[in-house]
Amino acid sequence: MSVSLVLAAHGSNAQPLVNARIRELAETLESNGRFTRVLAAFHQGAPHFSKVLDQLPAGRTVVVPLMTSAGYYCDKVLPRELRRNESFDANSVEITAPVGAHPLMRTILGQRIRALVQENKLNPENLAVLLVGHGTPRHEASRTTTIKVADELQRDFEMSMVTPAFIDDEPSVQDAFASIGRRDCIVLPFFIGSGMHAVEDVPAMFGRRNEETRLVIDRPVGMDDGILEIISDLAQPSPETPAIHVPNVRTIRLGTRASKMALWQANHVADLLRPSCRVEIVEISTLGDRDRTSPIDALPANGPFTDDLEIALVEGRIDVAVHSLKDLPLTESPQTRVAALLPRGDARECIVPRERLKFSELPTGATVGTSCARRALQVLRLRPDLRIVPLRGPVDDRVRQVHDGKMDAAILAWVGLQRLDLLDAVEEVFTIDQFLPAPGQAALAIQIRADDREAAGMVAPLDDAATRAETALELDLQRALESTGNLTVAAYAKCVDARYELRARILQKDTGQSHDVVVSADSPDAALAEAFDELQHSRLSVEQEAVH
């Protein structure tokens, strides 16, 4: 049986070089001899999607969309036009995922960032990376891959800021660039061909820019030779492949809190799910939202921001719930499970001051807002001359309270301000060692009913193994140490070169005493055991000293 390969690209009638690149890729792949024929096909150019199958022998045809994401052309135009081929019924046609959604794309883009940093002598700690995709209001999934890849790159380049931006969606390239606040900026055109968008539109959008920012605009990602490896992998024969994929039409009811942050998170997850299902967002009020005056620790609930969502999930009123992982109780109900953790964002903390003052510049007696014991104790650990005042409410409301003069500053999670486009309010970002985050901070959890296999299958591709392993290590340590209510744990784990590095800090709520540990081990279990032994010994020593 003959097996042919079609490289399906948007193409351009006005710019022949765009289509020439796709034909060059087709010729290279055909010369490898794996396929009977390899042809390029275009929406704009020849052969058209509606004619290409007629030029191939009858048999099996694999169509690889040379597009960066699922979306209007990939999910609508391409299948429709392929069906118009006269020989369509004589072929077994399989459309693969678009090349931009392949895991290797993260590697290619990461290599480009490292090369550009070295070539241009950029500072990774003062660097922003804009991943520029097309996006379109015509199809919700068009932005999905760009956002997902940007999140993955943020994990790989923690010291830098990686932000998605779009030509025909929000945030626009101009708005994203205006908000970066970094000295150096790399622009990665997330396009396959060197067409008008990549070589003309994107550079033109930076024509009037802040001259204090050093700007490096890279070539389109599709010009990298690594694209051949992605195509080859996508085109691997698979048994009993369907003809053209018909998306699952189940409607997933996605439960979320109603704050701006929670809705951002819910819509982000919905964008990732929508290529395979319809999504209905269901807003649910939680105890933590209804009571904004009591200290969080005093609320009569295991998970004040999650319990109501879990109840709705168990009762069948929603199919999945989206949480900030750090908000979930340490003990999960047997009726639910976390089926996916998205790639973790930047877990660092930052200071939002009323005036443009860094943390060290706050005057003695200045008020710092937080209702989190972990943050309060770490503030006083660094600056015992400051005063802690309670601060509750959604992230945007906390920023508003600072600017309204209710306190001199607040400590907030950097990733939340990034997601709500509030980074202008940030004056200083703490290093992980200065101010350790909560276990699980900056990770999004997708929770389902334990027995819902269909939902599990839909969300499983979103699970990030590295995030799951690293946050599990942090949460296991918290679970092991916080057996007493007098202790709070801050922790951050990272797997580097197959070794698990764990930073942790225990803080005594009554005395403010703290102890730090940094361990590195070949396995999560070994890192956990070493950190636990040292911190447990330190805690017992502190308690014995208090008795005497």
- Alpha-carbon distance of 22 to 165, in angstroms, equals 25
pLDDT band at 206 (very low <50, low <70, confident <90, very high): confident
Contact yes or no for 200/194 (Cβ under 8 A): no
Q: Give percent of the chain above pLDDT 90.
A: 54
Residues of each domain in the chain carrying CATH 3.30.160.40: 464-548
Q: Which of 3.40.50.2300, 3.40.190.10, 3.30.70.100, 3.40.1350.10 would CATH assign to domain 349-429?
A: 3.40.190.10
The pLDDT value recorded for residue 249 is: 47
Q: What digits encode the pLDDT tens for the residues 67-92?
A: 888 777 787 788 888 888 888 877 78
What is the overall mean pLDDT for the chain? 87
pLDDT at 155 over 60: yes
Q: What digits encode the pLDDT tens for the residues 179-190?
A: 887 889 999 999
First and final C-alpha spacing in the chain: 84
The pLDDT value recorded for residue 21 is: 86
Q: What digits encode the pLDDT tens for the residues 347-385?
A: 999 999 999 999 999 999 999 999 899 999 999 999 999
* Cis preceding linkage at 124, omega within 30: no
pLDDT band at 210 (very low <50, low <70, confident <90, very high): low
The pLDDT value recorded for residue 541 is: 62
Range with lowest mean pLDDT among 141-145, 408-412, 489-493: 141-145
What predicted TM-score, i.e. pTM, was given to this entire model? 0.60
Give the pLDDT mean for 115-119: 93
The pLDDT value recorded for residue 245 is: 43
pLDDT at 247 over 50: no
Instruction: Specify burial of residue 365 (Cβ count, 10 A radius: 0-12, 13-18, 19+).
Output: exposed
Residues of each domain in the chain carrying CATH 3.40.50.1400: 3-97
Class of domain 3-97: alpha beta
Contact yes or no for 132/189 (Cβ under 8 A): yes
| 3-class secondary structure, 518 | strand
CATH code given to domain 464-548 = 3.30.160.40
Give the pLDDT mean for 27-49: 90
- Alpha-carbon distance of 100 to 547, in angstroms, equals 61
Q: What digits encode the pLDDT tens for the residues 428-438?
A: 999 999 999 99
Q: What digits encode the pLDDT tens for the residues 281-308?
A: 999 998 877 877 676 666 666 788 899 9
